[in-house]
Structure 1
Amino acid sequence: MSTSVNIRFLSIDKSNKHHPSIQIDPITSSGGCKSVNKTYRMAFFAGLGENKGQIEENIDLVFDKVHTNVGDAYDKQTGRVTIPFSGLYHFTVVIAAQGGQKAAAMLMNNGTMVDTIWAESIPLWATSSNTAILNLTSGDQVWLVLLKIAPYIHGYMYSSFFWVFII
């Protein structure tokens, strides 16, 4: 009978304060460290360029003003993040509503709701945010759905979506 052990050593290189990188080195069952020499730098930040209004049904929300897409996991056409490798990810969503309107979105993971963000601008303006820390697997997809019950989301970068790979 043999036993296999899978252990990974994580190191963070902070020599470049603007772009710290993470290196994961697997340790073999014989105790030796086998470096894979890969740097995992993953981050995304985008905002909504224009206002959204009345919709007939819930729709995927696409943030079209992409400012950061390190690792190219965010698809600007679909609004979906496809997770490149398994790990822990941090997502934050900010939505804004104005003029007495309501805006609501759901953060989705592979078709399952993770959380909801709701902004109701009484009397004139409101922003709301929510954060999720998710343990995801390579190939998982994360995106936002704009809800038809509150579709008046304010654009012009007042509404935004970002994520970063933690470990």
Structure 2
Amino acid sequence: MFRRILMLAFFSYSHCFLEDPLSIQQRFTALEARVKQLEAYTAKCPCVDAVGFNVQLTHNISPMGRYQHIIFDNELTNIGNGYDKLSGQFTAPYHGLYTFAVSFTKGGDHNLSVQIVKNGATISQGLTYTEDVYDTATVTATVELTKGDRVWVENGYPVDDVEDIHGQWTFFSGHLVMSMPN
């Protein structure tokens, strides 16, 4: 066995001296070209810091006003500081693809409509429409944002005369999936 290993080592070592210098130079030139391609690609898509948040509503809101902003006041996670708990809005720190989710619970025996909004335009909406006292629904959205775009949650079009949202069971979260070049 030891003899076999020595023979393989000798063959590998002697093979290095038998390779054509032109072939080595061509492979080296090809590797240099590939490194330059990768550097150019990296410059277009710079690495960015992680961005993600998870916030909670800690109190009930009753009655909800039409298109009332829901300000989630308990910051559980806010990596990148994109969520502002005073305004209830997320501001995109980078251009990229983002995913958002809101899970909400209606309070009392009233129905509830909630929507995720980007710069004033609805990008997703959901509804609890049952006769149960408490009912929970989830709304998600995946959307391209440019730096500075704002996303928030608000009461949607009223489906009941009075709409209530139950705190402690209502959350809003979002994160950067992938940064994109400008």
Q: TM-score, normalised by structure 2?
A: 0.68
Q: 2:89 aligns with which of 80, 83, 86?
A: 80
Contact 2:65 2:155 in 1 (8 A): no
Whether 1:91 aligns to 2:100 is yes
For the aligned residue pairs, the C-alpha RMSD in angstroms reads 2.0
Q: Please tell me the residue identity of whatever aligns with 2:176.
A: F
2: CA distance between counterparts of 1:56 and 1:127? 19
Q: 5+ unaligned residues in a row in structure 2: which ranges? A: 1-35
Matched residue pairs, number?
Answer: 137
Q: 1:71 aligns with which of 66, 77, 80?
A: 80
Deviates more, 1:54-63 or 1:123-132: 54-63
Q: 1:118 aligns with which of 120, 127, 131?
A: 127
Whether 1:102 aligns to 2:114 is no
Q: In the alignment, which residue of structure 2 is the partner of 1:33? A: 39
Q: TM-score, normalised by structure 1?
A: 0.74
Deviation track 1:73-119 (CA, whole Å, cap 9, x = no partner) reads: 10101011110011110101101013312222111011111111212
Q: Using the TM superposition, give the Cα deviation of residue 38 of structure 1 relative to its aligned residue in structure 2, in angstroms.
A: 4.7
Kindly indicate which of the two structures has a greater share of residues assigned to helix.
Answer: 2
Deviates more, 1:46-55 or 1:63-72: 46-55
Q: In the alignment, which residue of structure 1 is the partner of 2:165? A: 153
- Bigger-Rg structure (1/2): 2
1: CA distance between counterparts of 2:78 and 2:167? 19
